[in-house]
Amino acid sequence: MWLLAFGWLLVPTEPAAAKPSPTATDALRQKLATRLPDTTRLRLLGAICYALREEQPVRALPYGEAAVALARTLPAEQQEPGLLNSLLGLASCYANLSNGPESLALLSEAQALARRLHNADALARAYTAQGSIYHERGDSTTAWRHYRKALQLSAQAGVTPRTRMKLLGNVGTLLFFRQQYAQALHFDSLALALARREGDSTAQSTYLSSLATYQMQTGNLPRVKRLLTQALAISRRQNAVRNQANQLIMFAMYYIETDQRERADAAVREALRLARQSDYLERVLDAYSILAAEAAEYKDYRRAYEWNKHFVELNDTLNNRQTLQTLAAAQVSYETLERARRLRQLTEQQQEQGWHNRVLGAMVAVLALGLLVAVYLYRNLRRSRSALAANHRALKQVSAELRSVAVSKDKLYAIVAHDLRGPVMAFSGVTSLIDSYIAQNDQAGLARLPALVRQAADSLNHLLDNVLNWAVSQTGELECRPAPLLVSELFAECQALYQTTAAASWQHITMATPPGLAVLADRNMARTILRNLVGNALKFMPAGGHVHLDAAIDPDDSSTVLLNCTDTGPGMSAATIAALMSGPALPEPTPTPRTTGLGLGLALSRAFVHRHGGTLVIQSRPGAGTNVTVSLPAAR
């Protein structure tokens, strides 16, 4: 009978949040007034909205609106997480202001965003809030559909215990109104177990009261007393005056049901005292109603009339909102008390500052010691890195030398093949002469052949010595040892080497040099230079051509001798000359050295000329022959 008369006995759909501290919210507002990054401002706006949404939703609303507007202006990578929390906070404000349509629109947007971010906790919160709104509208079917979706998400790892707790409590409330008491009791018990596991005493007190309501509805009165006793003990331990008032009113209802008039009267009067103390006018009104009904039942009509008069007067006061002045005065009083508390807090902080300074000094000493250790380790690290870099450089140098040796080996094979062509061609010329002398029955010519063969063999032997000396020079063991050399002797030696080859092709080699003209050069290198110049000229010159060697003192520099090799060959284009002169000092070996004879021979000549500090210059035109000029130091 008494239970059905008071619908408020059903507990709220979520644990009652503590009243936000003015100091905390004021501090957040003061910080918000400074210059801050947009992400920090968004976080502060959301925190203020969350703190005020339950007790002061009207004040919370502008902060929630500002948070959503700011989140929409942020870059994409920063917008979505902040926007999701802002939408949920603003939706909670509108729900507490009974603006269901606006709250549902915000929750729908939050749902889509939570799915895109794969945020199970936010999605479960949105479904739970939607179910609560539809429950308040009396649409229990739609409310249960949203709660069921939230329950499916609640088992996921990302859903927080507070979200699960609120969901379980809301489901229990819905089932209670649908008169499914056993199931309501089950879900409320789960919420209570979760509150105990998380150590949330306020939630425990709330869900114990809720369970007591269910048990009273089913008539399990012994169970009601145990649950209310536990809930009241928690509220008294926390000094939660309003919760105590709620639970004492329920105790009064219990005592009325069990016909314990004196205890019921004591409970309701203590509830009335606590409700008046905390300015909890709704519970004051309920206390008046119970006292009036109880007095009437025991035929004490005078007292029933007095209590009912108080009830009507207070109810009119609440309906007409005349308590605003009283609340304003209470706010002023509260602010005065808060300033006094702040003064005491500052005094305590000043006392603690001395201890903090001592701790800070110890920390500075520790940091200084740590800095010294860091410097020592850094210096060791630098030395280790320097040693490692030196080892790395040495390793790179050794690797480069090994690669150079490998390349030199390959070049050696190509050079040997190149320089052997001259003597082999001389032998080939001898065989051609044999055929010619036999055909002409020239006995005198045949008699000269052994001498020509010996000459070619000697030249081949000398060439092999020179090639070996060059190969050794590539390893750095062959030094350039300049000595005075007569140009006429060098020319004569080169002419004798290629005379047989030239005669076989009806080519002519002539020379002209001033008597006594000498150069200061390494003999083997000078021979290699002349052999390459003459050999290249003969190779590319047609039959009947002419090669002429001459030498003279440089008219611009008396300390330099110019050696010229002129042929009547096909000549070269400017592009070919540029390619030969701009190539590497020693070309890479190729599978077909015969096709690059001029390039390799010329590269060898350039290398040896540069070893003497001289120059090599090519002058040629297509169809006009070629002239190669080599400058070497003159012997004094």
Grade residue 566 by pLDDT with cuts at 50, 70 and 90.
very high
Angstrom distance (rounded) from CA 519 to CA 487: 7
Mean local confidence (pLDDT), 511-518: 91
Instruction: Work out the number of other CB atoms within 10 angstroms of the CB of residue 375.
Output: 10
Query: What is the per-residue pLDDT across 67-114, written as a single tens digit (0 to 9) for each?
Result: 888 888 888 777 777 888 889 988 988 887 778 888 899 999 999 999
More confident residue, 319 or 161: 161
Angstrom distance (rounded) from CA 232 to CA 274: 13
Burial of residue 462 (CB within 10 Å: 0-12, 13-18, 19+) is middle
Backbone φ/ψ region at 245: left (φ over 0), alpha (ψ -120 to 50), beta = alpha
Residue with structure tokens 């928690």?
234
| Whether the Cβ atoms of residue 42 and residue 35 lie closer than 8 Å to each other | no
- Looking at residue 334, its pLDDT comes to 46
- The mean-pLDDT minimum among 294-308, 459-473, 573-587 falls in 459-473
- Answer whether residue 564 shows pLDDT above 90: yes
Angstrom distance (rounded) from CA 543 to CA 532: 19
Q: Which residues contact 215 (CB under 8 A, 6 or more apart)?
A: 185, 221, 223, 224, 227
- Looking at residue 591, its pLDDT comes to 45
Reference 232, options 205, 203, 199, 263; nearest CA is: 205
- The mean-pLDDT minimum among 312-321, 483-492, 525-534, 583-592 falls in 583-592
Angstrom distance (rounded) from CA 612 to CA 563: 14
Q: In b/e form, how buried is each residue of 45-76, taking b as 16+ CB within 10 angstroms?
A: bbbbbbbbbbeebebbbebbebbbebbeebee
| Whether the Cβ atoms of residue 215 and residue 223 lie closer than 8 Å to each other | yes
Angstrom distance (rounded) from CA 434 to CA 446: 7
Listed as own residue / partner, the contacts of 195-201 with beta carbons closer than 8 Å and 24 or more positions apart are: 195/15, 195/165, 197/161, 198/161, 198/162, 198/165, 200/15, 200/162, 200/165, 201/234, 201/237, 201/238
Q: In b/e form, how buried is each residue of 419-456, taking b as 16+ CB within 10 angstroms?
A: bebbbebbbebbeebeeebeeeeeeeeeeeeeebbebb
Instruction: Work out the number of other CB atoms within 10 angstroms of the CB of residue 135.
Output: 21
Angstrom distance (rounded) from CA 125 to CA 166: 9
Residue 1 Cα distances to 7, 219, 392, angstroms: 12, 11, 94
Q: Which residues contact 228 (CB under 8 A, 6 or more apart)?
A: 208, 209, 212, 247, 250, 251, 254
Burial of residue 106 (CB within 10 Å: 0-12, 13-18, 19+) is buried
Grade residue 410 by pLDDT with cuts at 50, 70 and 90.
low
- Looking at residue 593, its pLDDT comes to 39
Can you tell me whether residue 520 is helix, strand or coil?
strand
Query: What is the per-residue pLDDT across 442-488, written as a single tens digit (0 to 9) for each?
Result: 777 777 677 667 666 756 765 665 566 556 655 555 577 899 999 99
More confident residue, 318 or 546: 546
DSSP-derived pairing of the beta strands 483-486 and 508-512: unpaired
- Looking at residue 478, its pLDDT comes to 55
Q: Which residues contact 250 (CB under 8 A, 6 or more apart)?
A: 9, 209, 212, 213, 216, 228
Reference 271, options 281, 257, 261; nearest CA is: 281
- Answer whether residue 544 shows pLDDT above 60: yes
> How many helices and strands (H and E) does the chain possess?
23, 7
Q: Residue 616: phi, psi to the nearest 5?
A: -130, 125
| Whether the Cβ atoms of residue 15 and residue 169 lie closer than 8 Å to each other | yes
Mean pLDDT across the chain? 79
- Looking at residue 12, its pLDDT comes to 42
More confident residue, 410 or 535: 535
Listed as own residue / partner, the contacts of 50-58 with beta carbons closer than 8 Å and 24 or more positions apart are: 50/89, 50/92, 51/20, 51/24, 51/25, 52/20, 52/25, 53/89, 53/92, 53/93, 53/96, 54/16, 54/17, 54/96, 55/17, 55/19, 55/20, 56/20, 57/93, 57/96, 57/97, 58/97
Residue with structure tokens 């969350």?
50
Reference 251, options 225, 284, 280; nearest CA is: 225
Mean local confidence (pLDDT), 398-411: 72
Can you tell me whether residue 167 is helix, strand or coil?
helix
CATH number of 478-633: 3.30.565.10
| Whether the Cβ atoms of residue 464 and residue 497 lie closer than 8 Å to each other | no
Angstrom distance (rounded) from CA 457 to CA 387: 57
